[in-house]
Amino acid sequence: MSFFTFQYIRFNEKQIYNSENKKNQEAIIEKILEINRLKYEILINDNSGWDEMVGFIANPNPEWAKDNVDFFVNTFNLSFVLTYNKEKELVYQFSDSACLKDFQYPDRSSIDSSFSGSPFSHYFQYCGNDLIEMFGAIVVPASDADDRITPPQGYLFLGRKWDANYLAEHAEATGYQTKFMNESELSGLEKDPSKIYIFKHLADNSGKTITTLAFSLEDPIKKDLLLFRIVSVIISLLALLVIIVFIFYLNRLILKPISQINTALNTHDTGYIDSLSHRTDEFMILGELIKNSFRQQEVLKKKNTELYEINATKDKLFSIIAHDLKNPVSSIVLMTELLPDSIKNKDYEAVAEISEMIGSQAAESLLLLQTLFDWAKSQTGNVTFNPEFVSFKQVAESVIKNLHPSANLKNISVSLNEDSDIEVFADTNMLTTVLRNLVTNSIKFTNPGGSVLISANSDEENARITVTDNGIGMNQKTIDMLFKIESNLTTYGTANEKGTGLGLVICKEFIEKHGGTIAVTSEPEKGSSFNFTLPISTNNR
């Protein structure tokens, strides 16, 4: 850093020096151009021969011109001399004929313009590709050469061509390279940063710039500055390389593990921190702690889920015992109290009605107890699972026969499809329980006079059993709550039959025990269709 500071101060000093030096160089160049200009201005203002010049303009004499005007041109390296009378007509010229070949001579208008504000004029104009520096003066008697208040007796113009030699003289005098540049060259100039440029604009007699004299010189400080920049770039690249290496190792050793840990914590995915187990630092320990924390969280989550299910089961069980089982038992007790009076009064019609009601309530209680018994066995793991090849048709006909009385009460037909004579690999008791619960549900939610159809078919791997009714159906919200113990779904049938909601839960558990699935499709007022799958061989379980 000290090196850069020292070099910066050093080059700043050089730049200040160079800036001042450039100003001095501009002044020197300006002075050299002024000296060359004054040389010819002094020449044209020399009044020693003005009276003879006035006489020559009035009566041109070639011999006098040869001795004076021609000598004038050759002695002072002029390109030409032009002499005009007071009517602004050219009366004499002496020059290199090639120089004036494409020259545009001053006319009345340009002469008036050149001397409109001064008895002298200085401007530039092109003669073909050659640049001519013009010097002009009004010719008056020698006695009026200083004040020039008398009317002009004529006009004198001197021309100096800026050839290669003349440019070389300026280059030698200034120490700069010199070159003429037009407007397009100047606008498209790509400046060499290692050079100093000074520009002098040259104008015609209207004041318009017709070319620019460019001076250029190698800037000594730029060479040192270039070396300084090269050294600076090398040092900067080395510093950048060190920073990149530092960032790489910082990212690899610290930032990347932190990012992996952060992602793992946000997503609970230990895959992001598996690579930390290969390290030997604190990140390995931290990764193991996080994995252990996730495992403990999973255990707690599982325990919470189990606890939630146990609580839901407990609540459901208490609800069934408190309401569903209490009501029919209470009704039986009440009706048994009424029965003796009816017998004593020999009201046999009332006795028959009370007996029928007791039987109905007892059957409902028995069904409920059977369901509770099946469910309790499945929850405690005491249910016996003995799958074997059984005839589905025989199981279905047995269930239909046992449920005939309840179906007959509502005048509902329960039938088995003729093509359902297939063999399945299942536990007979579980299959009977599933089929009994599904058919009971269909009877419960089908209006009197309706129908329930049991059908079965099979492919190479599974049997698909379907229980379809034309009952009241269900909406999607009710369907989503089926098969869940925690949903506490209790609905009333078309004859006000009450259910516990446990039947379908038991069906799902028993079907999954066989490796099958159970599903339902239903629409309100269009009936329901429960279907489940069972294996047809021992290899499909």
Least confident of 35-49, 122-136, 447-461, 469-483: 35-49
Residue 4 has pLDDT above 90, yes or no: no
Q: Which span out of 22-31, 102-111, 178-187 was modeled with the highest average pLDDT? A: 102-111
Bigger pLDDT: 280 vs 395? 395
404 CB burial (10 A radius; 0-12, 13-18, 19+)? exposed
What phi-psi label fits residue 381: left (phi over 0), alpha (psi between -120 and 50 degrees) or beta?
left
pLDDT at position 225, please? Answer: 66
- Alpha-carbon distance 265 to 82, whole Å? 99
328: CB partners within 8 A, 6+ apart: 361, 362, 364, 365, 368
99: CB partners within 8 A, 6+ apart: 79, 80, 127, 130, 132, 159, 161
- Alpha-carbon distance 41 to 167, whole Å? 19
- Topology, domain 384-535: Heat Shock Protein 90 (3.30.565)
Q: Which two tokens stand for residue 129?
A: 């590709």
**pLDDT confidence tier of residue 406, bands split at 50, 70 and 90:** confident
> Are the CB atoms for 485 and 479 separated by under 8 Å?
no
- When pLDDT is averaged across residues 256-262 and rounded to a whole number, the result is 78
Residue identified by tokens 């229980």 is: 467
Three-state secondary-structure class, residue 476: helix
25: CB partners within 8 A, 6+ apart: 174, 176, 196, 198, 217
- Alpha-carbon distance 134 to 202, whole Å? 11
Residue 320 has pLDDT above 60, yes or no: no
- Topology, domain 3-218: Beta-Lactamase (3.30.450)
Query: Pairing between strand 451-458 and 413-416?
Result: parallel
Bigger pLDDT: 281 vs 37? 37
Q: Vertex 179, ends 178 and 182: CA angle to 5°?
A: 150
> Are the CB atoms for 270 and 290 separated by under 8 Å?
yes
pLDDT at position 85, please? Answer: 93
What phi-psi label fits residue 175: left (phi over 0), alpha (psi between -120 and 50 degrees) or beta?
left
Look over the chain and give the mean of its residue pLDDT values, rounded to a whole number: 80
* Count of C-beta atoms within a 10 Å radius of residue 146: 10
Residue 405 host element (H or E): helix 404-409
pLDDT at position 393, please? Answer: 92
Least confident of 320-324, 345-349, 522-526: 320-324
pLDDT at position 23, please? Answer: 76
Residue 535 host element (H or E): strand 528-535
Q: Which span out of 108-112, 498-502, 529-533 was modeled with the highest average pLDDT? A: 529-533
- When pLDDT is averaged across residues 203-209 and rounded to a whole number, the result is 89
pLDDT at position 323, please? Answer: 45
Q: Which two tokens stand for residue 252?
A: 């690899």
Tens digit of each residue's pLDDT (9 = 90 or more) over 482-506? 877 666 566 777 776 666 667 788 8
Q: Which two tokens stand for residue 59?
A: 């009566």
> Are the CB atoms for 174 and 166 separated by under 8 Å?
no
Least confident of 45-49, 237-241, 248-252: 45-49
- Alpha-carbon distance 156 to 395, whole Å? 141
- Alpha-carbon distance 172 to 131, whole Å? 20
Question: In whole angstroms, what separates CA 539 from the centre of its chain?
Answer: 54
DSSP 200-232: EEEE-TTS-EEEEEEEEEE-HHHHHHHHHHHHH
Please state at what angle helix 220-250 crosses helix 2-44, rounded to 10 degrees.
150
Residue 452 has pLDDT above 60, yes or no: yes
Tens digit of each residue's pLDDT (9 = 90 or more) over 282-306? 778 887 888 788 788 888 888 887 7
382 CB burial (10 A radius; 0-12, 13-18, 19+)? exposed
- When pLDDT is averaged across residues 137-149 and rounded to a whole number, the result is 84
How many angstroms separate the first and last alpha carbons of the chain?
79
Q: How much of the chain exceeds pLDDT 70, in percent?
A: 82
Predicted TM-score (pTM) of the model is 0.41
Q: How much of the chain exceeds pLDDT 90, in percent?
A: 19
